Structure 1
């Protein structure tokens, strides 16, 4: 994953409303949630929800699918796992994991 892509995704998640929205979708699983459910559960105006969903969709973190008259939103788990992997891939690459600053690594 490129640094710029990760930065845009993290920036999108840096807003409390978008983070709450995204976590709601992650909890929903593969079935996702209808836009109406998201609006009701988050207690935000439709235009505000649309704005926040758009930001998450642009970064690839969320997908939408129309089912008849209902718009279903889903967390894109492949992209989420890619971002998590990017953050953790080099964990402790320069020091032993769990080493406290100032301690010698054995």
Structure 2
């Protein structure tokens, strides 16, 4: 990740609703959530949510896919890990990386719907 991409990602996360939204999607796992469910969980109006989703998507922090008539949003774990690596690339000495890496496959299986676990991680 270069400095320009890091600034875009940090800028997108530098707002209460977007940070809460991103954390919800990280906790939900790779299956993601439909926009309506995100709006309901965060208590955000759909028009406002659309703006925030676009900001995070433009920064490369979330993905969007169509499932029938719904748009499903999920955290982009690769971009999140790249940002963490960029921020911590010199924390253990010049040229050494000690950034934590999140691999959702370690915690989730395909079709995992343990929403209680996801909600507890966001709180």
**For structure 1, which runs of at least 5 residues remain unmatched after alignment?**
95-106
Q: Does 1:45 align with 2:58?
A: no
Q: Show structure 1 runs of 4+ deviating over 2 A.
A: none
Q: Does 1:68 align with 2:64?
A: no
Scaled by the length of structure 1, the TM-score of the pair is 0.85
What is the RMSD computed on CA atoms of the aligned residues?
1.0
**For structure 2, which runs of at least 5 residues remain unmatched after alignment?**
95-123
CA distance in 2, matches of 1:58, 1:83: 15
Scaled by the length of structure 2, the TM-score of the pair is 0.74
Q: Does 1:26 align with 2:26?
A: yes
The structure whose Rg is larger is 1
Query: How far 1:93 moved relative to its partner?
Result: 3.1
Q: Does 1:86 align with 2:76?
A: no
Aligned length: 94
